[in-house]
């Protein structure tokens, strides 16, 4: 075919029964193709590649002892890629997370299946792909911390080939500055509806410190930043981790 694949149609199945499925071979893997309109089941058909049109031509064959005289052409599905992104990564426990998978180029049909560590996400096993944008959404949330391998698999259709994409979603516990796990010295609270948790702490004292006690191997620091916010020195378990220009 024009895609560089070998195309196989029909043949004899179990008990010498004619079959009518289409498969392609890319030199490594056989892939069954989804075809809405296709020839009837048959065996011993003649097939050849027509380079001028970029199509595979099938003629005739046999079915139940009868010779067939119809002609069909095969236009290989367009290759696609699937990318997936997360609305918030890392996310926190209980937070709503929206995954968006995008098929390129935008196909004319097909569905998207979202899985988490190999298990289909609830309500996201066959999400219709938008034929204008190529996008398919899936929204979920998590009840505990951890790492999640998220995959989005596009089904493909008669004109567009299947593809898939993946990402790793991290789910953490978010701790606000009001938590007992956070301690301050000369910091004052400032109410700000745009801040995480609705408040943040500010200090005009040089070398003012704040401590956060946690168990784990990863911590993400969410803080206010700007041209007049200063430079913070970060230490974890007594080991300097350098400075952060706020």
Question: What integer pLDDT is reported at residue 68 of this predicted model?
Answer: 96
Q: What number of other Cβ atoms are within 10 A of residue 194's Cβ?
A: 7
49-102 tens-digit pLDDT: 998 888 899 999 999 889 999 999 988 778 899 999 999 998 988 999 999 999
Give the span between the Cα atoms of 62 and 180, in whole angstroms: 79
Are the C-beta atoms of residues 198 and 189 closer than 8 Å to each other?
no
Question: What integer pLDDT is reported at residue 54 of this predicted model?
Answer: 83
- Which structure tokens are listed for 56? 């595979």
Model confidence at 160, in pLDDT bands (50, 70, 90)?
confident
Once rounded to an integer, what is the mean pLDDT over residues 25-30?
88
Once rounded to an integer, what is the mean pLDDT over residues 174-196?
79
Model confidence at 204, in pLDDT bands (50, 70, 90)?
confident
> For residue 227, which phi and psi values (nearest 5 degrees)?
-65, -15
Question: What integer pLDDT is reported at residue 97 of this predicted model?
Answer: 97
Give the span between the Cα atoms of 241 and 208, in whole angstroms: 17
Question: What integer pLDDT is reported at residue 208 of this predicted model?
Answer: 85
Q: How many Cα atoms occupy the beta-carbon half-sphere of 229 within 13 Å?
A: 13
Model confidence at 129, in pLDDT bands (50, 70, 90)?
very high
Cβ contacts of 105 within 8 Å, gap of 6 or more: 78, 80, 134, 160
207-226 tens-digit pLDDT: 888 888 877 677 777 777 88
Question: What integer pLDDT is reported at residue 2 of this predicted model?
Answer: 67
Indicate whether this model's pTM tops 0.75.
no
In terms of DSSP bridges, do strands 30-32 and 66-74 run parallel, antiparallel, or are they unpaired? unpaired
Once rounded to an integer, what is the mean pLDDT over residues 198-212?
82
Give the span between the Cα atoms of 140 and 95, in whole angstroms: 8
- Residue 3: which region, alpha, beta or left (left: phi > 0; alpha: psi -120 to 50)? alpha
Once rounded to an integer, what is the mean pLDDT over residues 192-218?
79
Once rounded to an integer, what is the mean pLDDT over residues 153-161?
87
Give me the helices (H) in 27-69, please: none
């Amino acid at each position: 075919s024009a895609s560089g694949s070998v195309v196989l149609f029909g043949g004899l199945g179990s008990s010498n029964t004619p079959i009518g499925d289409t498969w392609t071979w890319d030199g490594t893997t056989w892939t069954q193709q989804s075809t809405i309109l296709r020839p009837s089941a048959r065996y011993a058909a003649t097939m050849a590649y027509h380079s001028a049109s970029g199509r595979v031509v099938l003629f005739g064959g046999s079915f139940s002892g009868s010779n067939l005289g119809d002609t069909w052409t095969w236009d290989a599905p367009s290759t696609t890629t699937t990318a997936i992104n997360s609305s918030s990564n890392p996310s926190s426990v209980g937070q709503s997370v929206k995954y968006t998978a995008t098929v390129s180029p935008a196909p004319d049909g097909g569905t998207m299946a979202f899985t988490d560590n190999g298990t289909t996400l609830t309500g996201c096993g066959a999400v219709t792909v938008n034929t204008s944008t190529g996008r398919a959404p899936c929204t979920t949330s998590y009840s505990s911390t951890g790492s999640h391998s998220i995959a989005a698999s596009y089904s493909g259709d008669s004109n567009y080939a299947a593809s898939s994409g993946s990402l790793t979603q991290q789910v953490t516990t978010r701790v606000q500055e009001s938590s007992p796990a956070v301690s301050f010295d000369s910091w004052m609270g400032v109410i700000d509806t745009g801040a995480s948790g609705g408040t943040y702490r500010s200090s005009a004292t040089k070398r003012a410190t704040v401590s956060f006690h946690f168990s784990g191997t990863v911590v993400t620091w969410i803080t206010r930043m700007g041209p007049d916010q200063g430079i913070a020195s970060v230490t974890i378990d007594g080991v300097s981790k350098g400075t952060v220009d706020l």
